[in-house]
Structure 1
Amino acid sequence: MVRWAKCIFFCCCLPLLLVLTACEGEAPRSVDLSRRETTNPPSYDPGEPALNLSIGSIVTPAQGYVYYEQLIDYLTKELGRPINVVDPGSYEKLLTLLETGKVDVAFVCSGTYVEGQKRFGLELLAAPLVDGKPLYDANLIVPEDSPAQSLADLRGKKMAFVDPHSRTGGLVVARELESLGTTPEEFFANVRYTYAHDQSILAVAYGLVDAASVNSFIWDYLRSRDPKLAMKVRVLARYGPYGIPPVVAAPHTDGELRRQVRQSLLELHKNERGQAILAGMHIDRFVPTNDGAYDSVRQFKGMP
Structure 2
Amino acid sequence: MKRVGLWSGVHRSIQAVFWTLLAALVAAPAQAAGQAAPGADVDDAHVLVLGRISDDPRSDYDPLKALLDYVVPRMREVGITEGRVLMARDARQMASYLRRGRVDWVTEAAGTAVQLQQRADARLLLLTERNGTSRYRTMFFVHRDSPIRNLSGLRGHTLALQDPGSTSGYQVPMITLLDNGLVPGILAGPGDRPGADRVGYLFARSQLNVAVWVHKRMVDAGAISDLDWNDPARVPPAFKPSLRVVHQTDSYPGALELVGPGMRPEVEARLRQVLLQAAEDPAAAQALEKFFDTSRFLPPDEDTRRSLANLREGIARVNAEVE
TM range (shorter): 0.5 to 0.7
User: 1:271 aligned to 281, 302, 305, which one?
Assistant: 281
User: 2:293 aligned to 282, 286, 289, which one?
Assistant: 282
Match of 2:9 in 1: none
Match of 2:207 in 1: 201
User: 2:50 aligned to 40, 49, 53, which one?
Assistant: 53
Letter in 1 for 2:158: K
User: 2:67 aligned to 65, 71, 76, which one?
Assistant: 71
| Alpha-carbon spacing, 1:159–1:302, altered in 2? closer, same or farther (3 Å) | closer
Contact 1:174 1:183 in 2 (8 A): no
1:225-265 CA deviation, whole Å, 9 max, x = no partner? x3874544667332121133210101112223222322221
| Alpha-carbon spacing, 1:120–1:265, altered in 2? closer, same or farther (3 Å) | same
Cα separation, 2, equivalents of 1:265 and 1:82: 17
Match of 1:175 in 2: 175
Letter in 1 for 2:140: L
1:295 corresponds to 2:306: yes
The structure with more radius of gyration: 2
Contact 1:50 1:83 in 2 (8 A): yes
Cα separation, 1, equivalents of 2:250 and 2:27: 35
Match of 1:37 in 2: 29
Q: CA deviation at 1:107?
A: 0.6
Question: How many residues align structurally?
Answer: 266
Report the more deviating stretch, 264-273 or 282-291.
282-291
Letter in 2 for 1:139: M
1:117 corresponds to 2:113: no
Match of 1:85 in 2: 85
| Alpha-carbon spacing, 1:204–1:83, altered in 2? closer, same or farther (3 Å) | same
Cα separation, 1, equivalents of 2:167 and 2:235: 27
Match of 2:12 in 1: none
Cα separation, 1, equivalents of 2:34 and 2:71: 9
| Alpha-carbon spacing, 1:91–1:118, altered in 2? closer, same or farther (3 Å) | closer
| Alpha-carbon spacing, 1:101–1:204, altered in 2? closer, same or farther (3 Å) | same
Cα separation, 2, equivalents of 1:190 and 1:118: 27
Contact 2:65 2:85 in 1 (8 A): no
Contact 1:138 1:214 in 2 (8 A): yes
Contact 1:50 1:81 in 2 (8 A): yes
Cα separation, 1, equivalents of 2:294 and 2:97: 27
| Alpha-carbon spacing, 1:50–1:62, altered in 2? closer, same or farther (3 Å) | closer
SS class of match (1:240): coil
Letter in 1 for 2:309: R
- % of aligned pairs identical? 19
Q: CA deviation at 1:42?
A: 9.7
Match of 1:156 in 2: 157
Match of 2:272 in 1: 262
1:242 corresponds to 2:252: yes
Report the more deviating stretch, 286-295 or 104-113.
286-295
Contact 1:169 1:213 in 2 (8 A): yes
Q: Structure 2: state its 5+ residue gaps.
A: 1-14, 37-41, 186-193, 318-323
How large is the Cα RMSD of the aligned pairs? 4.2
Q: CA deviation at 1:204?
A: 1.6
1:78-111 CA deviation, whole Å, 9 max, x = no partner? 3453333222232333233223323211012223
Q: CA deviation at 1:36?
A: 6.7
1:124-178 CA deviation, whole Å, 9 max, x = no partner? 2221235666422223356x767355444544325224326x5423232223322
Contact 1:160 1:191 in 2 (8 A): yes
1:223 corresponds to 2:231: yes
Contact 1:162 1:214 in 2 (8 A): no
Match of 2:129 in 1: 129
Match of 1:23 in 2: none
